[in-house]
Amino acid sequence: MNRGQIEARLIAHIESVSAARVTAATHLIDEQIIDSMGFINLIAFIETEFGVSFEESELDECFESIGMIAGLVTKKRV
């Protein structure tokens, strides 16, 4: 699965749970697309869907946008 496919799955998931339209560049927290519970649910979805886990330090740095998340997931899947 390439980065574009990962982004597409993340976008579909977020749009299905938030009813918001998002792009790879949408800032998920600042634009109030997800809240703290949504953030936890997103992490659980990613860990299940893509088979990756995260260090706590990665969560603050890389979870601002779908593009950043997809980049991290792609890196971890290698």
| CATH code at position 18 | 1.10.1200.10
Q: What is the pLDDT of residues 12-65, one digit of tens each?
A: 999 999 989 999 999 998 899 998 899 899 999 999 999 999 888 877 777 889
Q: How far is it, in rounded angstroms, from Cα 45 to Cα 48?
A: 5
Number of domains in the chain: 1
C-alpha separations of 6 from 14, 42, 50 in Å: 12, 13, 8
What range defines the domain where residue 63 resides?
A: 3-77
pTM of the model: 0.89
- Residue 33 is predicted with a pLDDT of 93
